[in-house]
A and B are shown apart, each in its own frame.
Chain A
């Protein structure tokens, strides 16, 4: 049965994509894998997987209000009802600030002149690509757009369907930072979340919040400490915290500039070097593999209790 793994972190820049790319590389040597980049407003996985685009599709996001200046009498009702400060007043006609508009259509229904229409917006693109490690589904949400959660869901769905069609064993989803709407969308339906955390005060603080989030949505957790040797005391703090939560720390990845070198070369670090970072990631993957593939319900039982 195909399993789905999401890489999360809470705090940004802790190494989610580095770990996701390494797992994609390592897993693909042993089983068919499908990849998805669910960080749709700053998608980076493609930068280290050297994808060949096979298809490009338009993502229609929400809608925006548009005021017809010919019909507008500048009565101001739209501005009164808008709770997002998205209506800009004018002497002759009012306008809509497209970045502030949340597409609620409240103005559309209240305009006495029927001068407002709602327009569907193209909010981004999503792509189907091939990589050396398996098919990759990724996306680009246009600058400042809403509905990132919807696009995350779409990218994940496509990856899952492809995985089911092609008999893949594992879907690896590179998640977004934070704990809000795109993260919640990224968690949905996942069998397992791997939290990549740094041994810093911020990292520890954010780990607690992201882990509460995955708990809230019933996704079991594993933890990987990145740059573990940067602050050994904080690393121990994380290990103790995880022990208290009955969450396994499956990896301790050392600090090494080779990670950046690999990124500059556009390759997963495990595919670039055999050093200590790669060793740590290989060890982590071998443990994760046991947990992921043990049996249909194994992860929940083994990891959580």
Chain B
């Protein structure tokens, strides 16, 4: 099941909710539901040999300002440069006919006398110039605009169970008793304008192709989950423009994190327009800083029949924990169950939707 966490307005707590949701539903924590995770004697479950493949996959899709890693502190194992294919012109073959400039909708290639100018920052990588060049003078090269990375927060499945160390061993991150979350993020290079190609490639690279066709019902029952039935959580950027659309596309559910203020409501409406009305996805709301502001968000959700799935009260402690890179479920473990319930509620809504369609 793929869940995109979005908001419209920035700073409402998308990353806080997405990270805490992921940490609350790790298979390890599900197995250890009865253990007190604040207990200093807590033994990390990754030291046992069993690996549950149902651990969540977390994608930070806010490639302009990726922040989730500050809270999940993953060990990055793989990194690659991404970008888009931009034209390179072979001047031996070029006849300066100008066809490429004519077909380019973005003014990313221009022919001036016996010169061809390419502007990579305007190029969308559509390849139309290549296809239209009558002399086959254009080939495409990668213009790097960012990186994508992946790894694990907590211990990777291949971590030697008996502390073998050496090759294949990754430094454990056990602070706060973190469970295992597979992690991936994209980072756009400073000065680059286009986030969408990075998000698109991040998703293609990190999300298993069958992620959204998993047996959602099995997740709902006791949060069990089956292999191939992984929770995938995408943390989107603020706003409602193309990077947000790309982060929502292909999701089973969009979880809107908002605050009960006029700004929060105004931008929530816009985000719902994108997710529910344009993309046809089921949506639900988490109200963060419940207690500030006014009743506008509650009234709007009631009028639009949008379920409010969780409320996180206004609590300066939470803001302080966040300010130092702490996560909500680690600092206030009583929230763990609420996030598990949130996940179960989302599972039910998605299952209902799929049932209704079938």
Residues of chain A touching chain B, judged by Cβ–Cβ distance below 8 Å, are 9-14, 17, 39, 41-42, 44, 47, 62-63, 81, 83-84, 99-100, 102-106, 109-110, 141, 143-146, 148-149, 176-184, 198-203, 205-206, 209-210, 212-213, 216-217, 227, 230-231, 234, 255, 257, 260, 263-264, 266
Within 8 A of A (CB), among B260-283: 261-263, 266-267, 270, 273-274, 277-279
Given contacts A41-B241, A202-B15, A264-B294, contact A143 B270 (CB under 8 A): yes
Chain B: CB-nearest residue to A46? B266
Q: What CA separation (Å) do A206 and B11 show in the bound complex?
A: 12
Asked whether A42 lies within 8 Å of B267 as measured between CB atoms, the reply is: yes
Q: What CA separation (Å) do A62 and B105 show in the bound complex?
A: 9
Asked whether B261 lies within 8 Å of A264 as measured between CB atoms, the reply is: yes
Asked whether A11 lies within 8 Å of B65 as measured between CB atoms, the reply is: yes
Asked whether B11 lies within 8 Å of A104 as measured between CB atoms, the reply is: no
Within 8 A of A (CB), among B176-192: 188, 190-192
Nearest chain B CB to A127 CB, angstrom units: 15
What would 12 A/B residue contacts be, using CB atoms closer than 8 Å? A13-B11, A103-B105, A109-B131, A144-B240, A144-B274, A176-B239, A177-B237, A178-B243, A179-B65, A180-B243, A213-B190, A230-B320
| Residues in chain A near residue B210, CB distance under 8 A | none
Q: What CA separation (Å) do A176 and B194 show in the bound complex?
A: 15
Name the segment of B157-165, B303-311, B321-329, B330-338 touching the other chain: B321-329
Asked whether B11 lies within 8 Å of A143 as measured between CB atoms, the reply is: no
Nearest chain B CB to A236 CB, angstrom units: 13
Asked whether B192 lies within 8 Å of A180 as measured between CB atoms, the reply is: yes
Asked whether A42 lies within 8 Å of B193 as measured between CB atoms, the reply is: no
Given contacts A109-B128, A146-B242, contact A231 B324 (CB under 8 A): yes
Other-chain residue from B67, B245, B319, B320 in contact with A205 (beta carbon distance below 8 A): B67
Contact with A along B60-82 (1 / 0, CB 8 A): 00001101001100000000000
Asked whether A263 lies within 8 Å of B191 as measured between CB atoms, the reply is: no
Other-chain residue from A42, A81, A83, A260 in contact with B238 (beta carbon distance below 8 A): A42
Q: Is B173 at the interface (CB under 8 A from chain A)? A: no
| Residues in chain B near residue A10, CB distance under 8 A | 64-65
Asked whether B70 lies within 8 Å of A202 as measured between CB atoms, the reply is: yes
Residues of chain B touching chain A, judged by Cβ–Cβ distance below 8 Å, are 8-12, 15, 64-65, 67, 70-71, 103, 105-106, 124-128, 131-132, 188, 190-195, 237-245, 249, 261-263, 266-267, 270, 273-274, 277-279, 292-294, 316, 319-320, 322-325
Nearest chain B CB to A221 CB, angstrom units: 14
| Residues in chain A near residue B241, CB distance under 8 A | 41, 141, 144-146, 148, 182
Asked whether B193 lies within 8 Å of A41 as measured between CB atoms, the reply is: no
Q: What CA separation (Å) do A209 and B12 show in the bound complex?
A: 20
Asked whether A264 lies within 8 Å of B267 as measured between CB atoms, the reply is: no
Asked whether A11 lies within 8 Å of B11 as measured between CB atoms, the reply is: yes
Asked whether A12 lies within 8 Å of B67 as measured between CB atoms, the reply is: no
Chain A: CB-nearest residue to B187? A209
Asked whether A12 lies within 8 Å of B10 as measured between CB atoms, the reply is: yes
Given contacts A100-B249, A231-B324, A260-B293, contact A178 B128 (CB under 8 A): no
Asked whether B65 lies within 8 Å of A209 as measured between CB atoms, the reply is: yes
Asked whether B263 lies within 8 Å of A263 as measured between CB atoms, the reply is: yes
Given contacts A143-B277, A179-B190, A264-B293, contact A102 B126 (CB under 8 A): yes
| Residues in chain B near residue A234, CB distance under 8 A | 323-324
Nearest chain B CB to A39 CB, angstrom units: 8
Q: What CA separation (Å) do A231 and B324 show in the bound complex?
A: 8
- Kindly count the residue-residue contacts between A and B in the assembled complex, taking CB atoms under 8 Å apart: 193
Q: What CA separation (Å) do A12 and B294 show in the bound complex?
A: 21
Asked whether B10 lies within 8 Å of A11 as measured between CB atoms, the reply is: yes
Asked whether B188 lies within 8 Å of A81 as measured between CB atoms, the reply is: no
| Residues in chain B near residue A99, CB distance under 8 A | 245, 249, 278-279
Q: What CA separation (Å) do A14 and B263 show in the bound complex?
A: 12
Nearest chain B CB to A188 CB, angstrom units: 11
Asked whether B190 lies within 8 Å of A230 as measured between CB atoms, the reply is: no
Q: What CA separation (Å) do A50 and B122 show in the bound complex?
A: 37
The 6 closest A-B pairs by CB, nearest first: A12-B10, A13-B11, A104-B126, A12-B238, A181-B193, A178-B64
Given contacts A12-B9, A62-B105, A263-B263, contact A180 B64 (CB under 8 A): yes
Other-chain residue from A44, A62, A143 in contact with B263 (beta carbon distance below 8 A): A44
| Residues in chain A near residue B237, CB distance under 8 A | 12, 177-178
Other-chain residue from A104, A177, A180, A255 in contact with B193 (beta carbon distance below 8 A): A180
Nearest chain B CB to A182 CB, angstrom units: 7
Chain A: CB-nearest residue to B265? A47
Asked whether B105 lies within 8 Å of A201 as measured between CB atoms, the reply is: no
Of B11, B188, B193, B292, the most chain A CB neighbours within 10 A belong to B11
Asked whether A106 lies within 8 Å of B194 as measured between CB atoms, the reply is: no
Q: What CA separation (Å) do A77 and B115 show in the bound complex?
A: 31
Other-chain residue from A42, A100, A180, A210 in contact with B194 (beta carbon distance below 8 A): A180
Q: What CA separation (Å) do A206 and B64 show in the bound complex?
A: 9
Other-chain residue from A47, A183, A217 in contact with B266 (beta carbon distance below 8 A): A47
Other-chain residue from B132, B243, B322 in contact with A109 (beta carbon distance below 8 A): B132
| Residues in chain A near residue B127, CB distance under 8 A | 81, 83, 106
Asked whether A105 lies within 8 Å of B128 as measured between CB atoms, the reply is: yes
Given contacts A83-B127, A143-B274, A184-B193, contact A179 B64 (CB under 8 A): yes
Nearest chain A CB to B286 CB, angstrom units: 15
Other-chain residue from A11, A17, A143 in contact with B67 (beta carbon distance below 8 A): A11
Asked whether B190 lies within 8 Å of A63 as measured between CB atoms, the reply is: no
Given contacts A42-B270, A105-B105, contact A201 B325 (CB under 8 A): yes
